Amino acid sequence: MAVLEARNLTKRFGGMAAVDGMSLSVAQGEVLGLIGPNGAGKTTMFDLLAGSVRATSGSIHLAGQDVTQAPAHRRLAGGMGRTFQIPRPFPGLSLLDNVLLARQSQTGERFWANFTAPGRVAAEERAARDKAMALLELVALARLADQPAQVLSGGQRKLLELARVMMADPKVILLDEPAAGVNPALLEVLIDRIRQINAGGVTFVLIEHNIDMVSRLCGRIVVMAQGKLLYEGRPDQVAKEPRVIEAYLGGVA
Amino acid sequence: MIDLLGYGAFFLSTALIFGLIALGLNLQWGLTGLFNVGIAGFVAVGAYTSAVLTSPDAADRVGGFDWPILAGWLAASLVAGAVAAFTGYATLRLKSDYLAITTFGVAVVVQLVALNAQGLTGGPFGVAFIPRPFASVQSDPVLFNFANLGVVVAVTLAVYLALERLSRSPWGRVLRALREDERAAIALGKSAQSYRVQAFAVGGGIMGLAGAVQAHFIGFIAPDNYLPTLTFEVWAMLMVGGSGSNRGAVLGAVVVWAIWVGSGALTAAVVPGDLQARAASLQIVAIGVMLCLILLWRPQGFFGARK
C-alpha cells in the first residue's frame, strides 16, 4: 500500500514549471531514491511534499489522507518529516533541546498548561528527554547533548537532523542530500542508521548525488529531468538506461 | 536614619517596578528576539486602564467606577496584553528594525491619545487621586513606604517565578527556537505566528501591570510619564543586567535606576540654579556612558549567557 502518493503535481514559478506533472507513489517500508541532474526539480518536489511550497495543481496523499492544502507545520504531526540540503539546527540551543523541539503536540508547549497541569508537563518532558537521549545515542552524538549545536561539524549536523526528525515519529522521512559534505566514515554511520530506522518500519525518500549510497540503500529509483518523470527502475537498470545517461551528460557527451 | 530607611524603601519600590517592565521586555527580546521599542506605550495603556477604573469621579472625563485596586491591576494586564497581542498580530510579517519602527509608532500613538483624548484620559492634566495601597497609614511615611515596597516585591517575585517556570518550559524552548531560526521552527511543526503573538501579549501584559502598579504607587499620572525616554531606560536596564536572564532584568533595573537617580542628585547639587533644566539632559548622558562602560567590560551584561 502506498504511504505517500503524489498525483500530477505541478509547480510554476512565473512561466517556468519547476515540477511539471510529476506523479510518485511510495510504498510502506520502502527506501526510494530520487535523482536527476541539477535543476531537475527534486528539491522543489520535496518542498511540495513537505508543504513549504504550495502546488499550482495536483494532489498529495499521506497515509490515505489528502494533505495538499495542509500547511508545513501540520505535516510533521501528520507523519511527514524532512531534512534540509543545508541542515538548520538552532545554533545557540543544546543538541538535546534541538531534538526535544521536534516532539509534536507537547502539553508543555501550551502557555497555560505550565500553570494548570505542571505534573503532566513534567512527566511528558521526562519521557521526551529519555527518547531524545536515546536518539542522540543512535546517531553517536549523546556525549555532546549539552553542547550548543554550533559546535557540530557539517556531517554531525546531518546526523542531528536525522535524530531531530525521528523525534516526531514520522511515517515517511524525506532526506535532501544526506551525504553531501559528510566524510566517508560518518557516511557509513549514516547509511547504517537509515537502514536501522527503515527496518523499524519508517519509509524513506532520498535525494542524493552519491550514486554509491543510492544503490546501496534504495530498492527503486525515480529519475527526474526538467520537472518531469524521466525513468523509474531498480538501481542496476537506472545505471544502464541511455536516457538517464543522456540527461546527466546531455549536451556534453 | 529613619528617613534614609524610608527613602531606601521608596527607591527600591521604584526600581523594582522598572524591573517588572524589564522582565516583560526580557520575555519578548531576551527569549523570543522580538525588537519592541514601544515599551512606554504598553506601560501607559496599563497605567491609564487601572487609573480610570479605580479613581473617583472626575468632572471632565469618564470615571467614578471605583474598582478595587487589584481588579484595576488585573484589567490593566489584560488590556495592555490585548493591545500588545494586536500589535504582534499586525506585525507578524515584520522583523528586526522594521518591527522596531512599528512598535515605536504604536507607543507614539498611545502617548498622543493619552495627551488628546481628554474625555478618556484627562488630557495633559492626566489622572489624579489614583487610590494608593495602604493609604490609611500614609501619615507614617516609613511604615507606608515599607508596606508599598512589600506589595511591589510580592508582585515582582510572583512575575519573576512565573517567568522562570515559563522560560524553562517547553513553551519557552519554542520561543528560543523562534529567536534562533523562525523557518526551521516552522519546519518542526511550531506555529511561529501563534507564539509571536503570545510572546507579545504576555510581555505586554507584564508591562501593563507594571504601569498600573507604578500609577497607584505615585497616585498621579500624566502623558509626560510615557515618553520614549522610558523605553530607552528599560532597554538600558535589560542590556546591563543581561538579555535572556530574568535575574539580570531585575538587577539591571536596580543598577540603572541607581545611576539615574544618582546622576540627577549630582547635577542638582553642583549645577547652578538657572542651568538646572538643561543639566537634566546629563542624566541621559550618564546612562549612555555607563551603558558603554558596562558593555565594554561585560558585553553580555551581568547575567547574560556568553555567546
Say whether both A141 and A85 belong to one domain: no
Answer yes or no: do A104 and B189 touch at CB < 8 A: yes
Segment A96-108 mean pLDDT: 93
pLDDT above 70 (res B72) = yes
Say whether both A184 and A222 belong to one domain: yes
The string of pLDDT tens digits covering residues B225-272 is 999 999 999 999 999 999 999 999 999 999 999 998 988 888 888 888
Q: Nearest residue on chain A to B166, judged by CA atoms?
A: A114
Residue ending a domain, among A102, A118, A151, is A151
Domain that holds residue A130: 93-151
Residue ending a domain, among A107, A125, A151, is A151
Whether the CB-CB separation of A9 and A60 falls below 8 Å is answered with yes
Nearest C-alpha neighbor of B42 from the set B90, B108, B96: B108
pTM of the model: 0.87
Answer yes or no: do A97 and B173 touch at CB < 8 A: yes
Residue ending a domain, among A126, A151, A176, is A151
Question: Which of A88, A104, A111 is opposite residue B198, by nearest beta carbon?
Answer: A111
Say whether both A171 and A80 belong to one domain: yes
Confidence at A251, pLDDT banded by 50, 70, 90: low
Residue with cell 536572564: B245
Which residues are bridge partners to A59 per DSSP? A7
Say whether both A133 and A223 belong to one domain: no
Answer yes or no: do A101 and B174 touch at CB < 8 A: yes
- State the cell numbers at A225: 529531468
Tell me the C-alpha distance between B253 and B22, whole Å: 7
Write out the residues of chain A at the interface with chain B, using a CB-CB cutoff of 8 A.
Answer: 50, 52, 72-77, 82, 84, 88-93, 97, 100-104, 106-111, 114-115, 118, 121, 125, 164, 168
Within-domain flag for A156: no
Segment A147-165 mean pLDDT: 91
Segment B46-65 mean pLDDT: 89
Beta strand A172-176 with A80-82 is parallel
Confidence at B32, pLDDT banded by 50, 70, 90: very high
Tell me the C-alpha distance between B22 and B248, whole Å: 9
Using a CB-CB cut-off of 8 Å, the residues of chain A touching B162 are 115
Say whether both A106 and A177 belong to one domain: no
Say whether both A74 and A188 belong to one domain: yes
CATH number for the domain spanning A169: value is: 3.40.50.300
Q: Indicate the residue type of A31.
A: V
Within-domain flag for A144: yes
Tell me the C-alpha distance between A62 and A51, whole Å: 12
Confidence at B306, pLDDT banded by 50, 70, 90: low
Within-domain flag for A188: yes
Say whether both A102 and A73 belong to one domain: no
Within-domain flag for A206: yes
N-to-C CA span, chain A: 40
pLDDT at A253: 43
Say whether both A62 and A182 belong to one domain: yes
Highest-confidence range of A34-43, A52-61, A103-112, B80-89, by mean pLDDT?
B80-89
% pLDDT > 90, chain B? 65
Say whether both A80 and A117 belong to one domain: no
Using a CB-CB cut-off of 8 Å, the residues of chain A touching B174 are 101, 109
Beta strand A220-225 with A228-233 is antiparallel
pLDDT above 70 (res B8) = yes
Confidence at A78, pLDDT banded by 50, 70, 90: confident
pLDDT at B11: 95
Question: Which of A88, A100, A121 is opposite residue B184, by nearest beta carbon?
Answer: A88
| Disruptive mutation site among A73, A115, A160 for chain B (greatest number of B CBs within 10 Å) | A73
Residue with the larger pLDDT of the pair A65 and B84: B84
Which residues are bridge partners to A7 per DSSP? A59
Question: Which of A72, A101, A168 is opposite residue B173, by nearest beta carbon?
Answer: A101
Min Cα–Cα distance to chain A from B200, Å: 13
Answer yes or no: do A90 and B183 touch at CB < 8 A: no
Q: So what's the ipTM on this one?
A: 0.85
Whether the CB-CB separation of B46 and B211 falls below 8 Å is answered with yes
Segment A38-46 mean pLDDT: 90
Q: Of chain B residues 194-213, which have a CB less than 8 A from chain A?
A: 198, 202
Confidence at B136, pLDDT banded by 50, 70, 90: confident
Kindly calculate the radius of gyration of chain A based on its CA atoms and give it in whole angstroms: 19
Say whether both A142 and A244 belong to one domain: no
pLDDT above 90 (res B156) = yes
Say whether both A106 and A178 belong to one domain: no
Tell me the C-alpha distance between B32 and B207, whole Å: 16
Segment A114-128 mean pLDDT: 95
% pLDDT > 70, chain B? 99
pLDDT above 80 (res B305) = no
Domain count within chain A: 2
Within-domain flag for A157: no
Answer yes or no: do B166 and A100 touch at CB < 8 A: no
Question: What Cα–Cα distance (Å) separates residue B118 from each residue in A144, A156, A218, B177?
Answer: 61, 63, 74, 44
Tell me which H or E stretch contains B242. none
Whether B171 contacts chain A with CB within 8 A:
yes
| Disruptive mutation site among B159, B173, B176 for chain A (greatest number of A CBs within 10 Å) | B173
pLDDT above 70 (res B196) = yes
Residues A33, A38, A42, CA angle at the centre, nearest 5°?
45
- State the cell numbers at B233: 531606560
Min Cα–Cα distance to chain B from A127, Å: 13
Answer yes or no: do B189 and A100 touch at CB < 8 A: no
pLDDT above 80 (res B111) = yes
pLDDT at A7: 93
SS (H, E, C) chain A: CEEEEEEEEEEEECCEEEEEEEEEEEECCCEEEEECCCCCCHHHHHHHHHCCCCCCEEEEEECCEECCCCCHHHHCCCCEEECCCCCCCCCCCEHHHHHHCCCCCCHHHCCCHHHHCHHHHHHHHHHHHHHHHHHHHHCCCHHHCCCEHHHCCHHHHHHHHHHHHHCCCCCEEEEECCCCCCCHHHHHHHHHHHHHHHHCCCEEEEECCCHHHHHHHCCEEEEEECCEEEEEECHHHHHHCHHHHHHHHCCCC
Answer yes or no: do A73 and B190 touch at CB < 8 A: yes
Tell me the C-alpha distance between A55 and A42, whole Å: 14
What are φ and ψ of residue B140, in 5° steps? -105, 95
Say whether both A48 and A119 belong to one domain: no
Using a CB-CB cut-off of 8 Å, the residues of chain B touching A72 are 186-187
| Disruptive mutation site among B166, B181, B188, B198 for chain A (greatest number of A CBs within 10 Å) | B188
